[in-house]
Structure 1
Amino acid sequence: MIRTAYFSGQTLSYGGREYVDTFLQNEGYLWIDIDDELSSEDEGILRQLGCHRLAIQDSQRLRHPPKMEEFEENCFVLYRGFSSCEGLLNITTLPLAFFVNDVLLITKRSMPSIGVDTLWEHGKLTQLIVTPSLLLSKIMNASAQRYVDVILEAENDITELEDTMLENPDDQVMHKLISLKSHLRKLLRTSRYHTKLTDQLLSGGSRFINVEDNEVKHSFRDVHDKFERIESLCSMYYDLCGDLIEGYISLSSHQLNKTMQVLTVITAIFVPLTFIAGIYGMNFENMPELKYSSGYFIVWVVMLVIGVSLLVLFRKKRWL
């Protein structure tokens, strides 16, 4: 699906493909949002608007790191947008491609995007669309802010997991911690890519993105700062989850050691008793003490004395 926002004079109009021809024949500013796989007709429109063939191919790839590339008629920016979150930082991201020049912004995506949808309904779109590079930064900013919000919300989940681990550690807690650590690792990688991308944008790597304009520069700086914060938070929470996992393993090992200690003490008590029972269980005819009338009771007393003595000894050593 292609939707367009066309601004000419003082009028902002929303529509579809028809505004592409209007834009090509008249002066104005155009934002094209493509939310679907590209058809041959869509590719023809992009080529007509000056988009390079290789950039169009990159915009359709599902797994491609964020980057910026300069072409003759526009700047191509590939960004990892925010789509949705299912809890515990299980964030669904999407490849969000931008083609930007002085009068045009094209966004290409394959699923819902928080950044695009936020700016499409923005009350000040008429002011932003006349500076496509500023509009680009605002879309990235809205997405980055959602990343930050979700990561900050996860702090409570991490605290709850820590409390649960200390009070009642189980395999479910361990599974959540490992899952959370995996999601943090992915977010950390994504934030590092975006930090490099915003660095490149701020350094003036494109003639179509005027970072000499203070508003554009401050907006991209805000995006850069957000991703630096995301990287810092992800790194901190990643280390914290690692510490919690190690703590869970240590607690499990301690509980196992305590259990093995009790079983070892029980075994140590019954070893001498089993030895005595084994001796007097042998069926030799000429064994001594077999003719004593009270031999059975004497053996019981000896065994009880040994058992109680060992039990008292282990209690004094605090092995029980």
Structure 2
Amino acid sequence: MEAADLPRSPRRPGPGTIGVPGRRLASKVGLAPGTAVFIGERKRQSIRIDLLEFDAAVVHEAHDVSVDDCAVHRGTATVSWIQVNGIHDIALIEALASRFGLHPMTIEDIVNTSQRPKCEELPDYCFVALKMLAYSRASRSVGAEHVSLILGPNYVISFLEDEGDVFDSVRLRIRKGLGRVRSMGADYLAFCLMDAVVDHYFLAVEQIGDEIELFDERILMGPRPGDIQEIHHYKSDLIKLRKAVWPLRDVVAAISKSESSLLRPDIIIFWRDLYDHTIQVIDMVETSRDVLASLHDTYLSGLSNRMNEVMKVLTIISTIFIPLTFIVGVYGMNFKHMPELEWQPGYFVVWVVMVAIAIGLFAYFRRRHWI
């Protein structure tokens, strides 16, 4: 599965008020804190829960499991990764949350797809909200998906808006026993999931940066009427990336300095490395924003230079024809006594004079490098 084009299920409106496409935050006005209201667009017909349980020796994987099946794995000695694909079914989310003792405020943040990246430490678990981003070359736009992670003593629950994700590399390492993920705990699994999300930030920023560089080279060759819309399109993509990465920097920094018993000191170095990666992504985004800002100036300068060239050509043509128009105007006057009118070679002499003036002016402009 390509990270740039995550699979998406058909989008259908759901019954009632839950799952109405594009539901806004205004629907939460007046409700008590901790009231779970799905904010976003329903992307699946039904929620599917997948389970991946492992330790250093064995791996057990199951799909489309029930809430009760998930609750059984809360107290096992192995590490359990529960992934919930779809967050529009409030009743199911609340049922799963009750099995794992999640706070109502946590449930509210899980189903709110507009929630900014954040980290909260509670006595029994840690909650992390972040954005999963992918750049689609086909639509030339950044797709954002809300992701929530619950880190418990021996489990990780990931909540996604839809089935597509960027965690295939993590699953592959678990299934084949690659790396250290099978021998580490749930906190390292949570790190791996967040690291996979940040790695795809790099991919999205690099793809946008490559397109901006090509766009820069084309603008230097000559601006086009639709270029200003293209610049604003890239600007909106970079703003989306910036809104996702900047808060995540603070989230990872808080985790790397946390003293929670759920985060072992021996993997703090991994969280610090992830913090460095978020800083690198921010630097790349800011660099692309600077390039894009200069592109806007380059576009306006190109238009100005193009207009100046047109005006220069028109001015030169006008300057050449001004003396010719003067001559024609003088001899176009209807005076009866004009000696030149009776002169037999006068017509040809006037032509010679006008041609000589035009050639002389043209040669002068060429010598001054004006044309």
Superposition TM-score, scaled by structure 2 size: 0.74
Contact residue 114 and residue 142 of structure 1 kept, 8 A = no
Does residue 219 of the first structure (1) align with residue 270 of the second (2)? yes
Deviation by residue 1:23-76 (Cα, 9 ceiling, x = unmatched):
357665432211112341331221231111121111112222100123343221
The 1:20/1:6 distance shift into structure 2, 3 A limit, reads same
Structure 2 Cα separation of the partners of residues 140 and 91 of structure 1: 18
Deviation by residue 1:192-250 (Cα, 9 ceiling, x = unmatched):
1111111111121x62542x5222x1221222111111111121222123323423432
Q: Which runs of 5+ in 1 are unaligned?
A: none
Does residue 2 of the first structure (1) align with residue 54 of the second (2)? no
Q: Secondary structure at the match of 1:61?
A: coil
Does residue 22 of the first structure (1) align with residue 22 of the second (2)? no
Structure 2 Cα separation of the partners of residues 90 and 220 of structure 1: 29
Q: What residue number does 2:37 align with? A: none
Q: What residue number does 2:45 align with? A: none
Aligned counterpart in structure 1 of residue 142 of structure 2, from 75, 83, 91: 91
Matches within 5 A, 1:160-309: 160-167=214-221, 169-171=223-225, 176-204=230-258, 207-210=260-263, 212-215=264-267, 217-309=268-360
Q: Secondary structure at the match of 1:290?
A: helix
Contact residue 52 and residue 59 of structure 2 kept, 8 A = yes
Deviates more, 1:114-123 or 1:193-202: 114-123
Structure 2 Cα separation of the partners of residues 140 and 208 of structure 1: 19
**Once superposed, what is the RMSD of the aligned Cα atoms?**
3.0
Q: Which runs of 5+ in 2 are unaligned?
A: 1-47
Number of aligned positions between the proteins: 317
Q: What residue number does 2:151 align with? A: 100
Structure 2 Cα separation of the partners of residues 191 and 4 of structure 1: 28
Deviation by residue 1:82-137 (Cα, 9 ceiling, x = unmatched):
34533697331211011222123211111245443432343249955962222111
Q: Secondary structure at the match of 1:92?
A: strand
Q: Which has the higher helix share?
A: 1
| Percent identity over paired residues | 24
The 1:233/1:9 distance shift into structure 2, 3 A limit, reads closer
Q: CA deviation at 1:278?
A: 2.1
Structure 2 Cα separation of the partners of residues 24 and 178 of structure 1: 48
Q: Secondary structure at the match of 2:342?
A: coil
Deviates more, 1:60-69 or 1:88-97: 88-97
Structure 2 Cα separation of the partners of residues 87 and 29 of structure 1: 38
> Would you identify which runs of 4 or more consecutive aligned residues in structure 1 move more than 6 Å?
none
Deviates more, 1:230-239 or 1:35-44: 35-44
The 1:8/1:318 distance shift into structure 2, 3 A limit, reads closer
Matches within 5 A, 1:150-165: 150-165=204-219
Structure 2 Cα separation of the partners of residues 88 and 229 of structure 1: 26
Q: CA deviation at 1:174?
A: 5.8
Q: CA deviation at 1:13?
A: 2.7
Deviates more, 1:299-308 or 1:116-125: 116-125
Q: What residue number does 2:84 align with? A: 34
Contact residue 74 and residue 208 of structure 1 kept, 8 A = no
Contact residue 71 and residue 99 of structure 2 kept, 8 A = no
Structure 1 Cα separation of the partners of residues 183 and 122 of structure 2: 21
The 1:242/1:92 distance shift into structure 2, 3 A limit, reads same
Deviates more, 1:1-10 or 1:35-44: 1-10
